[in-house]
Chains A and B, each alone.
Chain A
Amino acid sequence: MSNENEVKIIAIIAEVFEMNKKEVTRDKDFVKDFKAKSIKIIEMCAMLEDEFDIEIDMEDARKNATVGEAADYTLKLIDEQQ
């Protein structure tokens, strides 16, 4: 389940940042590698909330620097809230 969810998380990140899913790996840094503006991070959180029906504290979520951190953070919330 967690693996399946991680695939979905990666797909959402790829959609928000308009990238190929293959480029969205756990080690990628949102700012350094994706040149992400903060707005994109907020949009990503809203998409993840919608996909998994969870509540994300956006101020907390902004601290996630990499795809791996964001995925682990989201998986933890799914476990807690679903």
Chain B
Amino acid sequence: MEKHNTLIDDLKVRVRGKGIRVVFPEAEEPRILKAASIVMSDNIAIPILVGDIRKTNDIAKEHGIDISGMEIILPESSAQFDAYAATYLASTTIREGAVRRLLKKPVFYADMMVKAGDADAMVGGAVYETATVIMAGTMVIGMKEGASTPSSFFVMDIPGFEGGENGKLIFADCAVVPDPNAEELADIAIASADSAKKLLGCVPRVAMLSFSTKGSSLEPQVEKVIRATEIIRERRSDILVDGELQADTAIIPAIARKKVKGESPVAGKANVLIFPDLNSGNIAYKLVQRLAGADAIGPLLQGFAKPVCDLSRGATVEDIVGSIVMTAIQAID
């Protein structure tokens, strides 16, 4: 999480009182405890802490954080441990002893709680590396039906920009998949469309970005974007998508009218921008953030069967609260 804006406040209103149970596998991290106590007292989520019970209580006390009323679970002492191990064992080739070893690790146990429906979302990554959060999510929770690639997105809130969705755009993928093939790019776009719908409450209009518009170049990099666009149309006819489009054609109506012949439900009015690779996505979000003064909210993970959040290890308590809100929203049906 980099910066917050009123979007978080709007989402807080939507999530407040819904009783979303968020599990935190980094119970011994003071920033997590502070954020958990804030969301609990603000009725945004019901926190569940996974870690050593005595240490967690000691750390809370040492930092003057009130965690009374929060459930703290030590994986191997929990009543569900055997059942979780049996569930995981059924889906893997490794031995039972190894499964139990994995589930003793808080991030795996927390994901198992989400998979089992004993929690609604997992928020971690203040201490764990991104790769660990993604790996555990992939191994335990798995992907959404039809998806095979976890990815990430940013909500970009751009001052003075009147397009997109009330000045906001979804950018993806800017943090996880380095060089997606056409199938993976389609996965990223479909997940981003669903994220846009859930977070911005809008009809997603997905632009598959390139340096070419509608065949103005026939380089292999462009063919990948064209193929991804076809895959999205085959897999999800409900999604409004167009490609390949240059960035200005995607978001500026006058340029879209000039460059795109015929009707396009997306050109000039896109609210979801899908970049062809991580180089372009990451560079774009940082430039828009720095040069246009945009709030870049994210990166948020997507593609998992249930909500999983990877915090930045440098996240502040305020950042973590924002991430909890964004993740909890994804757990609302």
Write the residues of chain A forming the contact surface with B, with a CB cutoff of 8 angstroms: 16, 38-39, 42-43, 46-47, 49-50, 58-59, 62
CB distance from A41 to the nearest CB of B (A): 9
* Stretch of B41-49, B93-101, B273-281, B319-327 at the chain-chain interface: B93-101
Interface residue? B181 (CB, 8 A): no
Tell me the complex Cα distance, A47–B93, Å: 11
What is the predominant secondary structure among interface residues of chain B facing chain A?
Answer: helix
A50 with B128: CB separation less than 8 A? no
Interface residue? B139 (CB, 8 A): yes
Sample of 23 A–B contacts (CB below 8 Å): A16-B94, A38-B131, A39-B135, A39-B138, A42-B135, A42-B139, A43-B92, A43-B93, A46-B94, A46-B99, A46-B101, A46-B102, A47-B94, A47-B98, A50-B95, A50-B97, A50-B98, A50-B101, A58-B132, A59-B128, A59-B131, A59-B132, A62-B131
What is the predominant secondary structure among interface residues of chain A facing chain B?
Answer: helix
Tell me the complex Cα distance, A41–B132, Å: 11
CB distance from A78 to the nearest CB of B (A): 15
A49 touching B101 in the complex, CB below 8 Å, given contacts A16-B94, A39-B135, A42-B135: yes
CB-defined interface of B20-56 with A at 8 Å, one 1/0 digit per residue? 0000000000000000000000000000000000000
B128 with A38: CB separation less than 8 A? no
**Chain A residue at minimal CB-CB distance from B100:** A50
A42 touching B128 in the complex, CB below 8 Å, given contacts A16-B94, A47-B95: no
- Which residues does chain B contribute within 8 Å of A16, judged by CB atoms? 94
CB-defined interface of B81-106 with A at 8 Å, one 1/0 digit per residue? 00000000000111101111110010
Tell me the complex Cα distance, A62–B132, Å: 10
Tell me the complex Cα distance, A11–B173, Å: 39
